[in-house]
């Protein structure tokens, strides 16, 4: 897994991306985000309902980044900058992870976790490659579309971690599944057995918590045990989720132990 050599996290990139981290995960924090937004998290502590906490989060983001003022802006560029919030980028990822919105989310992982993407429209062989340049161009174009998108995504990730700690107290992992038609295109780091291997995933990857759903996306379905600390977003995090009912999770990538699920149909 390519790493940028620096990040804004409490652990170095090579640790976060390693199989050893996944076997023995630790909390991840983006530097300064919790302290800078302590008012939000203190308020959330007193709310029992997950749906209400999600509403409070959305309201907080709207006020902090003035997202609700987009219609009052004097220019079309300014209006679009505020209107295109973190929700727009999540929707863009769901439509196409190789879109400019997808490049922005991958760029957030690269800048915060230090893990460089391995695929965006094409395989990325290194930071000097043409495919990496294409990704950077998309990331730059997408970032210009809104107000402080990386800062918005910082708070989104920390809120996700806060919610997982409350909803899954005492847990460190969640079992997830990914279906693919292109299993041969993935980097296999090590073969562990007939149905188990170490696979290197992109720096941000979609999984589902529903095995049956994974079969809709390919003839090969892999099962992983994902550390909760590497969950960037999940479908039930926010009220009126754009992925409601799909069991989808966005997971920070790296090297994962995968087990191939056999089709029983």
Query: Is pLDDT of 6 > 90?
Result: no
Query: Is pLDDT of 184 > 90?
Result: no
pLDDT at 244: 54
For 106-127, the pLDDT digits (tens) are: 999 999 999 999 999 999 988 8
Element (H, E) at 23: helix 19-23
Instruction: Enumerate residues 6+ apart whose C-beta is below 8 A from 48.
Output: none
For 31-72, the pLDDT digits (tens) are: 999 999 999 999 999 999 999 999 999 999 998 988 864 444
Task: Say if pTM beats, i.e. exceeds, 0.75.
Answer: yes
Find the largest Cα–Cα distance for the chain.
61
Query: Is pLDDT of 188 > 50?
Result: yes
φ, ψ dihedrals at 53, nearest 5° = -60, -40
Sign of CA dihedral 131, 148, 1, 218: negative
Question: For residues 38 and 151, is the Cβ–Cβ distance under 8 A?
Answer: no
Token digits of residue 146: 């809104």
Number of Cβ within a 10 Å radius of residue 72: 10
pLDDT at 74: 39
Q: Would you call 246 exposed, middle or buried from its count of C-beta atoms within 10 A (0-12, 13-18, 19+)?
A: middle
Q: Which of 198-207, 209-218, 221-230, 238-247 has the lowest mean pLDDT?
A: 238-247
Give me the mean pLDDT over the 197-226 stretch: 95
CA atoms within 13 A on the CB side of 223: 13
Query: Is pLDDT of 245 > 90?
Result: no
Give me the mean pLDDT over the 131-141 stretch: 96
What band does 147 get if pLDDT is binned at 50, 70 and 90? confident
Instruction: Enumerate residues 6+ apart whose C-beta is below 8 A from 185.
Output: 123
DSSP letter at 73 equals -
Residues 87, 146: Cα–Cα separation, whole Å: 11
Crossing angle (nearest 10°) for helices 149-167 and 100-113: 70
What band does 158 get if pLDDT is binned at 50, 70 and 90? very high
């Amino acid at each position: 897994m390519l790493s940028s050599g620096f990040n804004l996290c409490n652990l170095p990139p090579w640790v976060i991306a390693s199989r050893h981290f996944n076997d023995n995960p630790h909390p991840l924090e983006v530097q300064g985000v919790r302290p800078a937004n302590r008012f939000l998290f203190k308020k959330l502590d007193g709310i029992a309902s997950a749906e209400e906490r999600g509403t409070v989060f959305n309201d907080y983001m709207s006020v902090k980044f003035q997202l609700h003022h987009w219609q009052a802006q004097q220019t079309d560029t300014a209006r679009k900058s505020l209107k295109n919030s973190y929700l727009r980028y999540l929707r863009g990822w769901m439509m196409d992870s190789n879109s400019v919105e997808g490049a922005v989310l991958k760029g957030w992982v690269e800048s915060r976790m230090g893990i460089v993407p391995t695929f965006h429209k094409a395989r990325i062989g290194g930071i000097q490659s043409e495919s990496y340049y294409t990704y950077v161009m998309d990331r730059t174009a997408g970032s210009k579309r809104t107000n402080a998108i990386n800062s918005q995504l910082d708070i989104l990730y920390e809120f996700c971690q806060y919610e997982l700690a409350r909803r899954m107290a005492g847990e460190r992992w969640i079992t997830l599944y990914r279906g693919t038609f292109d299993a041969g295109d993935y980097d296999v780091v090590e073969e562990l057995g007939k149905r188990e291997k170490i696979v290197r995933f992109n720096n941000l990857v979609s999984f589902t918590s529903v095995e049956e759903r994974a079969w809709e996306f390919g003839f090969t379905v892999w099962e992983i045990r994902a550390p909760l600390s590497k969950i960037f977003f999940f479908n039930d995090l926010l009220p009126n989720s754009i992925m409601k009912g799909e069991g989808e999770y966005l997971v920070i990538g790296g090297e994962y132990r995968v087990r191939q699920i056999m089709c029983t149909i």
